[in-house]
Every structure is written in C-alpha cells, then in structure tokens.
Structure 1
Amino acid sequence: MAEFPEVYEEQAKIFKALGHPARLMMVEAMLENPKTVTELTNMVQLEMPTVSRHLAVLKEAQVVKAQKKANSIIYSIEMTCLKGFLQCSRNTVTMKRIKRMI
C-alpha cells in the first residue's frame, strides 16, 4: 500500500473537503437532487460568497460537479459512493449520542 502515497494524498483531499459542517449539509442535500447556489445558500444560511467557496472546495476534490443551465449553475454529486459513507458515519454518531444518554 505504501507504493502509492499519492492515492492517500488524494483521499485526504476528499476528507478535508468534507470536513466542514456546511459542506456536509450541502453534500447531503445534493445527494437527494441537484441544487443551485441560491438553494444551498438558503439551506445553510450563509452568505453566497461563502457557499461559493465551499462549493469550489468540493468541486476541486471532485465531490461535486457543476453544470450551467440557462442563467443558473446546478451543482450535483460527482462522487456517488458518498451516500453510504455519510449514512454510516451518521449512524455511528447517533449511536454514540444514544449511549451517552443512557
């Protein structure tokens, strides 16, 4: 496995891109269906330039892709395998919280 350290570096970029609560919220929303920047801005309640920067990070890591449609840019998930990972991590967090309450 140590033969390909660049693979680990690229994976780390993906995890770093996902390492912000607002980006996780946006990714989960886009897993349901593609979204415009305006929709994402309203959802995460951040300023549009901030949301655009978050989307640029996700796009650079190839988590999302952008498609121009008329006067809008529509963002969608490029890394479709994320759905299972995000569900697994949410389940882990939920179980941890439940155990603390007991």
Structure 2
Amino acid sequence: MTSTVNPYEARAQILKALAHPTRLWLLEQLEQQERCVCELVEGVDADISTVSKHLSVLKQAGIVSRRRQGKQIYYQLQTPCLLKMLSCVESVLIQNAKASQAVVEQGQE
C-alpha cells in the first residue's frame, strides 16, 4: 500500500523546523561556512544540548547535514535557497513597518 504525502503538510513541516529564532540564527551562521557545534554554542544564549536539539530539528527536516570529526560534530547548510525565502520575509517586515508608520503619521494629522 502506497501512502501519499500531502505536499502542503510536507511544506508545513519544513516551515515548522524554521519556526524558532535560534534555528534562524543557526541558518545564518551556517550560510558562511560549516561550523562545529561548539562554535555555534558561543553565539547563542543556550547550552550545548539545546543547540544540538535545534540542529537536530533542522537535520530531520533536511535543511542541514552533519559530519563527525573525532569528538566534534560539524554542520553545514544543505539548502541555501532558504536564505532567499528569509530575505523575502525581511521585505514583508519592512513593508509592515512602513505601513504602521503611515498609520501613526495619519493619526497625528
């Protein structure tokens, strides 16, 4: 028996994996280069187990991959195209801020 994956559900799962400020920050860090978990912990106000859990969520979604070198685990971004989507999100934020500012300015007239 073949199970059909709902494409909207599949997309929602990817978006859920991104839906945390720390995971978004991790993506930006991995855009630059492959990083060791220990390097990533230094930039986040969280312990290594919390950062590892966030990275695991991203890995399960297929967004990052990892490799082990000795005792260290290194992560790299598998889908840099997601950063373009985040750039689009920034455009929406700017548009919303401008709209809010316009409302404030109208109220002051």
Under TM normalisation by the shorter chain, which class is it? 0.7 to 0.9
Alignment of 1:22-41 (within 5 A): 22-41=22-41
Structure 2 segments unaligned to the other structure (5+ residues): 103-109
Shift of 1:95: 3.2
Larger RCO of the pair (alpha carbons < 8 Å, separation 6+): 1
- How far, CA to CA, are the matches of 2:6 and 2:15 in structure 1? 14
The reply to whether residue 88 of structure 1 matches residue 88 of structure 2 is yes
TM-score normalized by the length of structure 1: 0.84
Report the 3-state secondary structure (helix = DSSP H, G, I; strand = E; otherwise coil) of the residue aligned with 1:56.
helix
- How far, CA to CA, are the matches of 1:39 and 1:99 in structure 2? 39
Q: Match for residue 15 of structure 1?
A: 15
Distance verdict in 2 for CA 1:98–1:32, change over 3 Å:
farther
TM-score normalized by the length of structure 2: 0.80
Runs of 4+ off more than 6 Å: none
Provide the aligned length of Structure 1 versus Structure 2.
99
- How far, CA to CA, are the matches of 1:27 and 1:10 in structure 2? 20
Shift of 1:5: 5.0
Deviations 1:4-56 (Å, cap 9, x if unpaired)?
65222211110000000110010111112111111211112211111111111
Q: Match for residue 74 of structure 1?
A: 74
Aligned AA (1:69): Q
RMSD between aligned residues: 1.7
Structure 1 segments unaligned to the other structure (5+ residues): none
